[in-house]
């Protein structure tokens, strides 16, 4: 299985403009630029897309871990926060924090935390990122 996305960029770093598209067609020509990446301007940015990918991947990995333990979640809600920091002469994604809130009938705290840790370590997006990945997990009744 292979998935793809594309980027087009015109101009310099600060005055240039880019467009991002995904092969599924979910979005095409989404604008991005210096302002969307470093100044919270309108549009998307690579780090936001990595955060979305990580949150989605982790949530599915957790569902798989729960299924292996004979549990099914009523809900899994994950927010991934990607940290982009100045490192040396450039920038690097230095960390990703996953914030999880899940409702899982019949789950005890220990089983939930073990499944969440296995999902964090086993999620393919976690494996590809060269960053510190932390997790806060809350089990709802």
**What's the CATH code of the domain at 106?**
3.30.300.20
Q: Do both 94 and 132 map to the same domain? A: yes
Is 63 found in the same domain as 21? no
Examine the domain organization and report whether 73 and 96 are in the same domain: yes
pLDDT band at 73 (very low <50, low <70, confident <90, very high): very high
Give the model's pLDDT for residue 41: 86
Contact between 23 and 1 under an 8 Å Cβ cutoff? The reply is: no
Q: What is the number of structural domains in the chain?
A: 2
pTM of the model: 0.90
| Strands annotated E in 11-124 | 17-22, 30-32, 75-87, 90-103
Residues 108 and 54 grouped into a single domain: yes
Q: Tell me the per-residue pLDDT of 47-59, one tens digit each, with 9 for 90 and over.
A: 999 999 999 999 9
Please say if the pLDDT value at position 40 is more than 90.
no
* Contact yes or no for 36/43 (Cβ under 8 A): yes
Residue 89's domain comprises: 46-140
- Residues 21, 59, single domain; the answer is no
């Amino acid at each position: 299985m292979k998935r793809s996305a594309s980027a087009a960029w015109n101009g310099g770093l600060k005055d240039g403009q880019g467009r991002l598209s995904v092969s599924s067609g979910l979005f095409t020509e989404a604008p991005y630029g210096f302002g969307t990446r470093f100044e919270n301007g309108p549009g998307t940015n690579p780090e936001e897309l990595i955060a979305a990918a990580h949150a989605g991947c982790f949530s599915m990995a957790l569902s798989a871990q729960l299924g292996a333990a004979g549990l099914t979640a009523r809900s899994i809600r994950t927010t991934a926060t990607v940290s982009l920091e100045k490192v040396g002469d450039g920038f690097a994604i230095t960390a990703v924090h996953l914030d999880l809130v899940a409702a899982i009938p019949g789950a005890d705290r220990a089983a939930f935390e073990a499944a969440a840790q296995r999902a964090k370590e086993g999620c393919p997006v976690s494996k590809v990122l060269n960053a510190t990945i932390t997790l806060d997990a809350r089990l709802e009744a």
